[in-house]
RNA sequence: GGGGGCGUGGUGCAGCUGGUUAGCACACCGGCCUGUCAAGCCGGAGGCCGCGGGUUCAAGUCCCGUCGCUCCCGCCA
């Protein structure tokens, strides 16, 4: 076996990708990985790669017989050092695809610091490789230039974020990971306490209460780039541990906070994408979002807004409409311009899709010169057809898609139909970045069991003018909560908080949390609020989601160095894994595994 | 918890209504080659078709179960 060279007295002078025509004639010392080797029998080319990119090293037997001989043994991903002079590539040999394509390094010396086994997958091509393999060999996957670029971007997002908030007088303050479980929200990750038998810490879902306490503590402006944990099922845009840009300010109102956040986002886009964002960002109320888009995170890169046509179809002969309207349901419609070109098969697919979601049906109607062409046309009088066309602003060639049912079901389904249509018929400008603030969220909502819960969280302040509603009709009460949506993804959300202890107690009581329970779970907050808490509010952003969008990635896993799989496992470290019985004993823990069906 | 997709040499894929020797590209190994850059040419090695069961004369192919990865619903700001 060939000897490896010691790494000694080898001072790197440049990153590979930094070599330019300015360096021609200069001696450079480079280190990195063999990205690819091309052996022509005589001359050998090696694309030498480091974090920043690649440069071509040339091993010529006439120029340096010893290093040429040594280069013969190089293979992909060997770790080497090259000393040599930068030269201009011969006429016609430049590679315009490479940043360093006009130059090359004529190798005088080659040092081989380490070898590599044959690779489990190809690193350089943007071929799709099964994600399980990429994750298992994440150290190789991350060497791919596109991944390196994602982390360079992520670093710059963090750096700009720190600089921006520092510039506005925010303190970066750390909050504990070992904290206590609070009700509401997501499932907690729990950590058993060795010294307190039977006691558990919870990893924070967000530093919510502690940042409010920091405001009470007079810190005035706080921010943190902080890991948060939620033990819920994963999605392409949801990991069990994720990073928030979390901030909180005292003596602030919604408008001012929004302005500060927009300044930050605009700076990120300006510096990272060279894109100037129009400010202020557009906004709509929660009620408008639901009315027009069916969801509270509308993708505003395209139209296809929907409209309520309940009153227009009232009195129709169509049984489904009649029954729904009698049952206080709604009928909503969406206009797809030019949609009459859809074939019967395509329409059936749309209907089938809606039924897969659980919808009772989806009704289509083509606007033709001869009126509405639809399976339900015979149930609709001329008056009703006229009213619908009028309401929808439908033109000849348009397709109308209608759904009837309770608002809680029809709105999200129509919202989903809208995105499916936009995707299927290519209505999305993928280069666009459409921001929308969603304002005036309801303070409360009802869960499946009919219990009243906080829409945002229990510390969100009601709108001043809606406070009287707390007693009469809490569900109509709007809050001072706000979300920022980008291209249909919620990237941040926050609120003005309750700073009066009496209001906070009232909210808890509406939520059905008894005084004793409130005292036990949030006593420290109630205490803090009663010692001169300043008016305050804040917001938190999903850093991973933001970086994902900036990087144009389809999954969070592309911008997280060591992400979890959908089953919340790390394929690199094989976590979660078993622990010793002794460790469990110390923690006063006994595991009870689910029963498996008896085998044999 | 539920629904969809995928699983075939190291990687990416093909393999028809079940049929005899499982194919292609890249990677790998050996050889040739002094200007390539996804180098090229010649040759070679490499497969328990995820795993288990079933149907059948016969299963990569059909059925059931299971495991893994993934997308979505539920859940989650």
Does nucleic acid strand B have an atom less than 7 angstroms from the CB of A483?
yes
Does the C-beta of A133 come within 7 A of strand B? yes
Per-residue pLDDT of chain A (600 residues; tens, 9 = 90+): 458 999 988 999 999 999 999 999 999 999 999 999 999 999 999 999 999 999 999 999 999 999 999 999 999 999 999 999 999 999 889 999 999 999 999 999 999 999 999 999 988 766 788 999 999 999 999 999 999 999 999 999 999 999 999 999 999 999 999 998 876 689 999 999 999 999 999 999 999 999 999 999 999 999 999 999 999 999 999 999 999 999 999 999 999 999 999 999 999 999 999 999 999 999 999 999 999 999 999 999 999 999 999 988 888 888 888 888 888 889 999 999 998 998 888 888 888 888 888 888 889 999 988 888 888 888 888 888 889 899 999 899 999 999 998 888 899 999 999 998 998 888 888 889 999 999 999 999 887 777 888 999 999 999 999 999 998 889 899 999 999 999 999 999 999 999 999 999 999 999 988 899 888 888 999 999 999 999 999 999 999 999 999 999 999 999 999 999 999 999 999 999 989 999 999 999 998 887 654 332
Query: A560-577 burial, b if ≥16 CB within 10 A, otherwise e?
Result: beebbeeebebbbeeeee
* A334 CA to B70 C1' distance (Å): 31
Q: Find the Å distance, CA of residue A212 to C1' of nucleotide B31.
A: 72
Distance A128 CA to B24 C1' (A): 18
CB proximity A89–strand B (7 Å threshold): yes
Inter-residue contact A592 to A586 (CB < 8 Å): no
Strand B contact with A36 (CB < 7 A): yes
A187 CB below 7 A from strand B atoms: yes
Assigned token pair, A337 = 């311009």
User: Integer distance in angstroms from CA A110 to C1' B52?
Assistant: 53
Range A26-31 contact pairs with CB under 8 angstroms and sequence separation of 24 or more? A26/A85, A26/A86, A27/A83, A27/A84, A27/A85, A28/A83, A28/A84, A28/A85, A28/A86, A28/A105, A29/A81, A29/A82, A29/A83, A30/A55, A30/A57, A30/A81, A30/A82, A30/A83, A30/A105, A31/A79, A31/A80, A31/A81, A31/A82, A31/A113
Number of neighbouring beta carbons within 10 Å of residue A523? 11
Among chain A residues 299-328, those with CB within 7 Å of any atom of strand B: none
What is the distance in angstroms measured between the alpha-carbon CA of A92 and the sugar C1' of B25?
Answer: 30
- Find residue A482's DSSP bridge partners: A494
3-state secondary structure of A111: strand
Check: CB of residue A44 under 8 Å from CB of residue A78.
no
> What is the DSSP secondary-structure string of A118-145?
PPSS-SSS-----HHHHHHTHHHHTTSH
The reply to whether A95 has its C-beta less than 7 Å from any atom of strand B is yes
Whole-number Å distance between alpha carbons of A227 and A241: 7
Collapsing DSSP states into helix, strand and coil, what is residue A390? helix
Burial of A328 (0-12, 13-18, 19+ CB in 10 A): exposed
Q: Looking at strand B, which nucleotides approach a protein CB closer than 7 A?
A: 1, 3, 10-13, 26-29, 32-40, 68-77
Would the Cβ of A544 be found within 7 angstroms of any atom in strand B?
no
**Nearest-nucleotide field for A135 (CA, C1'):** B69
Bridge partners (DSSP) listed for residue A452: A446
Q: Judging by beta carbons within 10 Å of its beta carbon (0-12, 13-18, 19+), is residue A388 exposed, middle or buried?
A: buried
Whether A567 sits with its Cβ under 7 A from any strand B atom: the answer reads yes
Running DSSP on this structure, what letter comes out for residue A479?
Answer: B
Beta-bridge mates of residue A200:
A192
Q: Is the CB of A120 under 7 A from strand B?
A: yes
- Tell me the pTM: 0.92
Q: How far is the CA of A39 from the C1' of B41 (A)?
A: 13
Residues 458-477 in A having a C-beta less than 7 A from any atom of strand B are: none
How far apart, in Å, are the Cα atoms of A548 and each of A258, A436, A499, A566? 22, 18, 35, 17
Cis peptide bond N-terminal to A360, omega within 30 = no
Mention every residue, 6+ apart, whose C-beta is less than 8 A from residue A212: A248, A459, A497, A525, A528, A533, A536
Is the bond preceding residue A562 a cis peptide, omega within 30 degrees? no
Total number of residues shown for chain A:
600
**Among A460, A463, A458, A490, which residue's Cα sits nearest to residue A476?**
A463
Q: In Å, what is the separation between the CA of A122 and the C1' of B11?
A: 7
Nucleotide nearest to A100 (CA to C1'): B37
Tell me the backbone φ, ψ of residue A114, rounded to 5 degrees: -160, 155
């Amino acid at each position: 076996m060939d000897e490896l060279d010691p790494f000694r007295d080898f001072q790197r002078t440049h990153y590979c990708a930094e070599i330019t025509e300015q360096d021609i004639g200069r001696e450079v010392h480079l280190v990195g990985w063999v990205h690819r080797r091309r052996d022509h029998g005589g001359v050998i080319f090696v694309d030498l790669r480091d974090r920043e990119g690649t440069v071509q090293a040339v091993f010529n037997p006439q120029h340096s017989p010893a290093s040429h001989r040594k280069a013969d043994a190089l293979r992909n991903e060997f770790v080497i050092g090259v000393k040599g002079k930068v030269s201009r590539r011969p006429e016609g040999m430049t590679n315009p695809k490479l940043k360093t394509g006009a130059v090359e390094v004529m190798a005088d010396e080659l040092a081989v610091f380490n070898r590599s086994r044959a690779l489990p997958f190809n690193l350089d091509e943007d071929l799709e490789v099964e994600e399980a393999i990429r994750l298992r060999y994440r150290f190789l996957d991350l060497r791919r230039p596109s991944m390196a670029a994602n982390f360079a971007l992520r670093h710059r997002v963090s750096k700009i974020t720190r600089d921006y908030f520092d510039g506005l007088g925010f303190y970066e303050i750390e909050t504990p990971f070992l904290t206590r479980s609070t009700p509401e929200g997501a499932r907690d990750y729990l950590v058993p306490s060795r010294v307190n038998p039977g006691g558990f810490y919870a990893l924070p879902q967000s530093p919510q209460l502690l940042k409010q306490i920091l405001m009470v503590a007079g810190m005035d402006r706080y921010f943190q780039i902080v890991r948060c944990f939620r033990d819920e099922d994963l999605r392409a845009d949801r990991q069990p541990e994720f990073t928030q840009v979390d901030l909180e300010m005292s003596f602030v109102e919604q408008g001012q906070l929004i302005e500060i956040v927009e300044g930050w986002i605009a700076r990120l886009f300006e510096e990272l994408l060279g894109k100037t964002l129009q400010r202020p960002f557009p906004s709509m109320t929660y009620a408008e979002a639901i009315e027009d888009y069916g969801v509270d995170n509308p993708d505003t890169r395209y139209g296809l807004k929907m409209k309520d046509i309940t009153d227009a179809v009232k009195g129709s002969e169509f049984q489904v409409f009649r029954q729904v309207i009698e049952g206080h349901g709604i009928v909503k419609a969406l206009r797809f311009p030019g949609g009459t070109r859809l074939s019967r098969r395509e329409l059936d697919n749309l209907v089938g899709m809606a039924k897969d979601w659980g919808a009772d049906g989806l009704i289509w109607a083509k606007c033709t010169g001869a009126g509405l062409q639809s399976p339900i046309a015979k149930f609709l009088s001329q008056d009703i057809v006229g009213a619908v066309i009028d309401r929808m602003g439908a033109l000849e060639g348009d397709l109308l898609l209608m759904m009837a049912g309770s608002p809680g079901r029809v709105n999200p389904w129509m919202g989903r139909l809208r995105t499916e249509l936009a995707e299927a018929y290519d209505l999305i400008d993928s280069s666009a970045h459409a921001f929308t603030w969603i304002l005036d969220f309801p303070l409360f909502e009802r869960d499946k069991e009919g219990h009243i819960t906080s829409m945002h969280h229990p510390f969100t302040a009601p709108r001043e003018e809606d406070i009287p509603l707390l007693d009469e009709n809490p569900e109509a009460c709007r809050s001072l909560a706000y979300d920022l949506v980008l291209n249909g993804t919620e990237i941040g959300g926050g609120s003005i908080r309750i700073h009066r202890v009496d209001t906070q107690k009232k909210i808890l009581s509406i939520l059905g949390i008894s005084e004793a329970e409130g005292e036990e779970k949030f006593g420290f907050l109630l205490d803090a609020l009663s010692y001169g808490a300043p008016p305050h509010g804040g917001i938190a952003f999903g850093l991973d989601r933001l970086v994902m969008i900036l990087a144009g990635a389809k999954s969070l896993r592309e911008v997280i160095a060591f992400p979890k799989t959908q089953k919340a496992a790390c394929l690199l470290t094989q976590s979660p894994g078993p622990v010793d019985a002794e460790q469990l004993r110390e923690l006063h823990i006994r595991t009870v595994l689910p029963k498996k069906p008896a085998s044999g």
